[in-house]
């Protein structure tokens, strides 16, 4: 049995998403439908030596060979007593397809990113695979960061070295605001961009925090030179953030780069429809740095200021 999922997201920039809810160890978890290609029931596995302990093996799905990640193993949960209802969620992000084994599939819910609450502080580890919490039909749904799971299995702890310094751009004078809900990605991006020569890197945990920081910067008369935003973020997603910037008279000149694992052909159209200046798939950091250099070079300036006395507060 295979269930094909299309990207049934609403119009770009509405701050809504479709969440596929699934079961794991008697709990309920969610993943953005935009990352899901299809759902299948069973596959013939081939053992893959020296792989991560959570990888059961690899399987062929039409023309692709995919790894199968057992999420119970990844989270050190007890093995399932029965795998009668298990399903494989086939995802595609970062230009890679992966199968994730779950206990059962519940259903798809359409929600607003504003409905996704913060992750409770239950331990000292900020870098968690849970990025948000939903309350649907009196059930707690934990939003799972499949990207972090994939990065952990692949052993990725840092991004590739950024591009060498551009001859005509002084990156130390460029202010970059990064919006990403993944603590791991924020850390890797900040570290890598600092090593590339950027001295003023501002981070935001989600689109709403980024919007607040931009609003405050507008009032202070010192806007960032460029915005780099993920798409998937609680409270306010990157598409809604981009549309809000581009529809504001005093902000629409700000370059916005969408840097996301979700930059598929369909999402590229959505990025363009909300006014994004460029789009790039994670984790192409050298490409991101080159794009920033190019956009700043086109602007002919490394600072963007707005007198505080005439600044118009940004509203959504």
Ordered DSSP codes for 154-185:
HT--SPPPPPPPPTT--GGG-EEEEE-S-HHH
**Please, which pLDDT band fits residue 303 given cuts at 50, 70 and 90?**
very low
The span from the CA of 95 to the CA of 283, in Å, is: 10
Task: Please list the residues that pair with 70 across neighbouring strands.
Answer: 101
pLDDT band at 301 (very low <50, low <70, confident <90, very high): very low
DSSP code per residue over 100-113:
EEESEEEEEEEEEG
Q: What is the pTM of this model?
A: 0.81
Please indicate whether residue 140 or residue 193 has the higher confidence score (pLDDT): 140
Strands (E) in 190-282, as ranges, are 200-204, 222-223, 226-229, 256-260, 278-281
Buried b (16+ CB within 10 A) or exposed e, 36-54: bbbbbeebeeeeeeeeeeb
At 184, the pLDDT band (50, 70, 90 cuts) reads confident
The confidence score (pLDDT) of residue 220 equals 92
- Give SS3 for 19: strand
d(CA 67, CA 58) in angstroms, rounded, equals: 4
What is the residue extent of each domain of the chain?
2-154, 171-310
**Chain segment 33-91, per-residue pLDDT in tens:** 989 999 999 899 999 999 999 999 999 999 999 999 999 999 999 998 888 899 999 99
**Residue range 209-267, pLDDT digits in tens:** 999 999 999 999 999 999 999 998 989 999 999 999 999 999 999 999 999 887 667 77
By CB atoms closer than 10 A (0-12, 13-18, 19+), residue 314 is buried
Query: Is the pLDDT confidence value at 162 over 70?
Result: no
Categorize the per-residue pLDDT at 1 as very low, low, confident or very high, splitting at 50, 70 and 90: very low
Q: What is the pLDDT of residue 261?
A: 83
- Asked whether 11 and 18 are in contact (CB, 8 A), the reply is no
Q: For residue range 72-86, what is the model confidence (pLDDT) as tens digits?
A: 999 999 998 888 899
Pick the CATH number of 2-154 from 2.40.50.180, 2.30.40.10, 2.120.10.30, 1.10.3720.10: 2.40.50.180
pLDDT, tens digit (0-9, with 9 covering 90-100), for 88-140: 999 998 888 999 999 999 999 999 999 998 888 765 455 688 988 999 989 99
Q: What is the model's pLDDT at position 267?
A: 75
Classify each residue of 185-211 as buried b or exposed e, where b means 16 or more C-beta atoms within 10 Å of its C-beta.
bbbbbbebbeebbbebbbbbbbbbbbb
| Closest residue by Cα to residue 83 from 24, 35, 27 | 24
DSSP state of 14: S
H or E element that contains 244: helix 238-246
CB neighbours of residue 130 within 10 Å: 14
Q: What is the mean pLDDT of residues 17-38?
A: 94
Domains 2-154 and 171-310 share a fold: no
Q: What is the pLDDT of residue 167?
A: 61
* Torsion over CA: 97, 103, 104, 105 (sign): negative
Please report the pLDDT score of residue 14 as a whole number: 86
pLDDT of residue 122: 64
Q: Supply the pLDDT for residue 285.
A: 76
Q: What is the CATH number of domain 171-310?
A: 3.40.50.2300
User: Distance between terminal CA atoms of the chain?
Assistant: 44
Adjacent-strand bridge partners of 222? 305
Contact 271, 257 (CB under 8 A): no
């Amino acid at each position: 049995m295979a269930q094909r999922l299309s990207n049934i997201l609403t119009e770009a920039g509405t701050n809504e998403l479709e969440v596929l809810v699934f079961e794991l160890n008697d709990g309920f978890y969610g993943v953005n439908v935009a990352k899901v290609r299809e759902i299948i029931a069973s596959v013939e596995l081939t053992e893959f030596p020296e792989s991560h302990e959570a990888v059961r093996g690899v399987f062929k799905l039409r023309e692709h060979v995919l790894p199968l990640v057992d999420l119970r193993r990844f989270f050190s949960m007890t093995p399932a007593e029965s795998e009668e209802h298990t399903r494989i969620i086939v995802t595609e992000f970062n230009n890679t397809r992966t199968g994730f084994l779950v206990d059962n599939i519940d259903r798809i819910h359409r929600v607003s990113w504003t409905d996704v609450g913060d992750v409770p502080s239950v331990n000292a580890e900020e870098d968690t695979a849970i990025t948000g919490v939903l309350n649907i039909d009196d059930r707690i749904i934990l939003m799972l960061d499949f990207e972090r799971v994939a990065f952990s299995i692949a052993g990725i702890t840092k991004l590739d070295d950024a591009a060498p310094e551009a001859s005509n751009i002084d990156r130390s004078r460029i202010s970059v605001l990064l919006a990403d809900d993944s603590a791991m990605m924020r850390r890797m991006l900040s570290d890598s961009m600092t090593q590339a020569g950027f001295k003023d890197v501002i981070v935001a945990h989600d689109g709403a925090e980024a919007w607040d920081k931009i609003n405050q910067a507008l009032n202070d008369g010192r806007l960032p030179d460029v915005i780099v935003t993920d798409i998937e973020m609680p409270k306010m997603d990157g598409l809604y953030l981009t549309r809000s910037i581009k529809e504001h008279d005093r902000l629409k000149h700000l370059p916005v780069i969408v840097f996301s694992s979700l930059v598929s052909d369909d999402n590229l159209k959505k990025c363009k429809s909300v006014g994004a200046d460029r789009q790039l798939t994670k984790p192409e950091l050298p490409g991101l740095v080159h794009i920033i250099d190019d956009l700043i070079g086109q602007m002919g300036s490394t600072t963007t200021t707005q007198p505080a006395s005439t600044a118009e507060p940004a509203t959504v």
